[in-house]
Structure 1
Amino acid sequence: MKIIQTVIVKQILTENSKSSLLESFQQKQQQLKKELEQLKFELKKFDKSVKQNKVTINNQYHKEMTNREEKMKLLDFQISQIHMLPLGSELKEKEVQALVEVSPGDNWNEIMQAKTIIVKEGIIQEIR
């Protein structure tokens, strides 16, 4: 019988992976800034044109803007953490699903232990 199990994929921090992570975080920040500016523009445009139900829609815009600002703060924090991490650190990148073969007589506790795949520069280094 086969079961599905969650496997954690960790990335070893190298100069290349560090720079690509920082670049991806900065791209996400730029995208959020563009979205925030677009929301501000739409809010101003909306304020001038609509007279009724203004408060509700105004609150929605502010909620969306606050959401983007919080995401930007989180990205700032992640960037600062990446700068502080030493090379060789293991970062959790994602979780994937794997099929695991189980049969009578297998040690259930051993099968259910969390499995981890260690990746360095896109190449699997170790499976734990």
Structure 2
Amino acid sequence: MQIWKKVPVKQVLTHNSKQKLQQEFKRQAAQLEQECHQLTFEKKKIERKQNVSREEVSKRFQREIDRRKEKIRWAEYKLEQLAVLPLGSEITEGEIETLVEVQVGDDWDAVMSNGAIVVEDGIVIRMDE
């Protein structure tokens, strides 16, 4: 029988991958900042209309702005952590699902133990079982 199992994908931190991650985190923060400005603009635009509860509009927009600001802080935190990590470190990039063959008598803990796929500069260098 085959079952689905989640396997982490790890990236070896190299000079190139570190630069790409820094650019991606900065891009995310800039995008979120732009969304905050846009939401503020839209909030003011809607508040000017009559027959609209300004308090309700303000609450809803502020909630969205706050969520984005939290994501900005998270991106900045990841940038700080990335600066501290030495080259050669392995960082978890994501997770994929893979099919695993299971037979009667297999050791369940061994089947479900987390392996990993390790990537360096876009090339798979190791698959841990």
* TM-score between both structures, scaled by the size of structure 1: 0.95
Runs of 4+ in 1 over 4 A off after TM superposition: none
* Cα separation, 1, equivalents of 2:88 and 2:8: 17
1:56-95 counterparts in 2 under 5 A?
Answer: 56-95=56-95
Q: Provide the identity percentage.
A: 37
Letter in 2 for 1:7: V
Moved more, 28-37 or 47-56: 47-56
The count of residues paired between Structure 1 and Structure 2 equals: 128
Letter in 2 for 1:81: Q
* Cα separation, 1, equivalents of 2:41 and 2:52: 19
Letter in 2 for 1:41: F
Unpaired stretches in structure 1, ≥5 consecutive residues: none
Contact kept? 2:32, 2:72, Cα under 8 Å? yes
- How far does residue 88 in structure 1 lie from its aligned partner after superposition? 0.4
Secondary structure, in 3 states, of the residue corresponding to 1:49?
A: coil
* Cα separation, 2, equivalents of 1:5 and 1:95: 10
Partner of 2:36: 36
* Cα separation, 2, equivalents of 1:48 and 1:68: 24
2:10 is the alignment partner of 1:22: no
- How far does residue 50 in structure 1 lie from its aligned partner after superposition? 3.1
Letter in 1 for 2:4: I
2:75 is the alignment partner of 1:108: no
* Cα separation, 2, equivalents of 1:98 and 1:43: 45
- How far does residue 83 in structure 1 lie from its aligned partner after superposition? 0.6
Partner of 1:11: 11
* TM-score between both structures, scaled by the size of structure 2: 0.94
- How far does residue 89 in structure 1 lie from its aligned partner after superposition? 0.5
Secondary structure, in 3 states, of the residue corresponding to 2:116?
A: strand
Secondary structure, in 3 states, of the residue corresponding to 1:105?
A: coil
* Cα separation, 1, equivalents of 2:43 and 2:29: 21
Q: What's the RMSD between the two structures over aligned residues?
A: 1.1
- How far does residue 51 in structure 1 lie from its aligned partner after superposition? 4.2
Unpaired stretches in structure 2, ≥5 consecutive residues: none
- How far does residue 106 in structure 1 lie from its aligned partner after superposition? 2.0
